[in-house]
Structures are given as structure tokens and as C-alpha cells.
Amino acid sequence: MQTKRWNVNKSNNQKNYRENIAEAALWLKAGKVVAFPTETVYGLGGNIMDDDAVKAIFQAKGRPNDNPLIVHIARREQLNALVSEIPPAAKELMDAYWPGPLTLIFKASKNVSAAVTAGLETVAVRMPAHPVAYDLLLEADVPVAAPSANLSGRPSPTTADHVWDDLEGRIAGVLDGGTTGVGLESTVLDVSGESPVIYRPGGLTFEQIAEIVGHVEVDPALLSESETPKSPGMKYTHYAPKGSLTLVRDNNDIPELVAQARNEGHRVGVLTTEQRKQSYDCDFAFACGSDDDLLSTAAQLYTGLRQFDTEQIDVIYSEVFPEHGVGIAIMNRLRKAAGGRIV
């Protein structure tokens, strides 16, 4: 399959922008799968009303079909056809944070295919804030299932180049809208039960959610395997670079670990911050933001994990990050990427 790449930088040419958006939207409506930027990561979109398009998403990614998809919409009215009820807490959260990096899990209506929900009685929906995503969804005027636009298990893509590296030749097209902002997937919050429950930490923090709804719970299985995942990212290992990644609780232990691995003939990398990038005698160190700015760490995390592949690093040691605010999501992704390896 030949993959088309559209440049959707508005500042270059407004006419070309509209034409590219219109063509990509037509392709979505026709059942093709198209990658596009959101404010979190790039998504791989398919029309949820077309089961073949949904199947094509799973095939392109190599994604297990028991892993539910998130549905993306541009207008809140579209929600009415997807869910059986909208609880008051959901309305308050949508008023506060839609469009934005918040996915809400509702009780699904009968209109939503089991291919999208993985056979669950719930459906995950969000309204992205990125202007390209908004314009594309508005033009297509269909709900679009859109997991991250990467091969299953790989670090999520925050640039069109990342998408191209993984999926060129496997999907119809990529809308190149530059680098995403948040850099981590949306927060997934279940509002289908008695109390809101976070199933995946992400771009919107626990504190921000609690500010609107008061009491909010965190699923105890958040960092473990689940037989019936209610949220994307719960059941399978994700975000992993090709090299072996280990998290290290004490930065002082990293130099010795690096030296030992290099003596064994490995190319060794360290995931760190700007403050300590020069501290490690390794083959490649990636500065993932700054110690005093977890948002910068989140924005660069997946780029860093992919850069280790580019540098052909086969053993990676990562510092750990404070688990508050968006740091909870950062550590969730790192634990997944490391397969639980931590020393």
C-alpha cells in the first residue's frame, strides 16, 4: 500500500490546508485509515460506522482485537448516538475539559460496534483539542476510532516522522501537523459507574479532575495486567523501545550499571534530564526535559525512547520521576515500557 503524506501547516498555504483536510476526511468517510495529530499523540483514525475500517486499524498496528478503541468526535451532539446515558459528572467534566486530553468511558449505545468496544458494554470517547484533529473530524462528520498511530507495543508517535517509521506502507495517509504538545495519551476516566474512576493517567491530572467532580478513584489494577481491559493500554506492554529498559530508583547506581553493561559489550543509554545529561559515561544520553518541569518530560518522553532505537542502544537505564501531577502518567508509561523492570 502506498501511504500519502499531507502537509497541514496552516501558515504555509491556507488553501492547501483546506484541500488536504478535505481529502483526508473523504478518505476516512470512504473507509480508509488516516493518521492525524492530536494535542496528545498522533492517532490512527478509522470510521467507526465501517467495520472494515475498524479492522484495518487493528491490522495496521498489529493490535490485539480485545483491546478497546477510543472514539474521537468534534461535536458534543455526536455523543448522543454513541452512549446510552450521560451522567452529571460527565457533563461537568466535558464543560471544563472538552476539547482536551480527557477520555470518558460511558455505557455504550447499541449503535457502537463490538469491534470498537472489544465486546464491552462501555465505550471510550474524547474530543481532541488539536486544530488539525478538530478540522478533520468536523469535515468528516463521522465518529472516528483512533488509537495511537504506531505499531502495537512501540512508543507512541509525537511527530509524523514517528508514524511514518512505523506505518508507512500499512495505512492510507498521514496528516503532518508537526510535533504534538502534551506528548502523552489522554487521561481515561470511567464515568459509567457510581464514582468516576481513572483507568489511565495522562495529560489531565488527578488533581484537575478532582477539582471538578470532587471524589475520584484510581483503579487499583492501573499498573498491572487485566483480563478485560476497560481502557486502551491496560492489558498489554506498551511504549517499549527495542532495547532492554530498566528503571533505576537511585541515580547514584546508574554509573555502575552502565559500566557493567558496557563491559559486557552492550551499547548503553541513559534517560535523564538536562541537569544530569553530562554526568553519565554512556554511549547515548537523552535529556527528557528538566527536573523542575514535568510537562517538558512528558512532551519528550516518547521521542527519547524512539531515539534510543535510532542510536542502536540495546541496554537503557532510566531515572525515575516524581509521581505527582503528570509525573504519575510519566511513570505509568515508563513502567509499561520497562515491563516492570526496576532496581
Pick out the residues of the known binding site for L-threonine: 40, 72, 122, 126, 146, 186
The Cα-based distances of 296 to 251, 287, 322 in angstroms read 20, 10, 13
Q: Specify binding-site residues.
A: 40, 63, 67, 72, 122, 126, 146, 148, 156, 186, 200, 239
Q: 318 φ, ψ to 5°?
A: -120, 135
Cβ contacts of residue 264 below 8 Å, gap of 6+? none
Q: Which amino acid is at 261?
A: A
Q: 3-state DSSP: the chain helix, strand, coil percent, rounded to 5?
A: 35, 20, 45
* Strand 173-176 to 122-126 pairing: unpaired
Q: Specify binding-site residues for ATP.
A: 63, 67, 148, 156, 200, 239
Across 308-339, b (16+ Cβ under 10 Å) vs e yields bbeeebbbbbbbbbeeebbbbbbbbbbbbbbe
Cα dihedral 274, 279, 280, 283 in deg (nearest 10): 60
Please confirm whether the linkage preceding 64 is cis (ω < 30° from 0). Answer: no
**Helix (H, G, I), strand (E, B), or coil: what is residue 213?**
helix
The Cα-based distances of 288 to 240, 313, 323 in angstroms read 16, 16, 16
* Strand 315-319 to 284-287 pairing: unpaired
Across 48-58, b (16+ Cβ under 10 Å) vs e yields bbbeebbebbb
Distance CA 247, CA 330 (A): 12
Cβ contacts of residue 159 below 8 Å, gap of 6+? 42, 178, 179, 180, 303
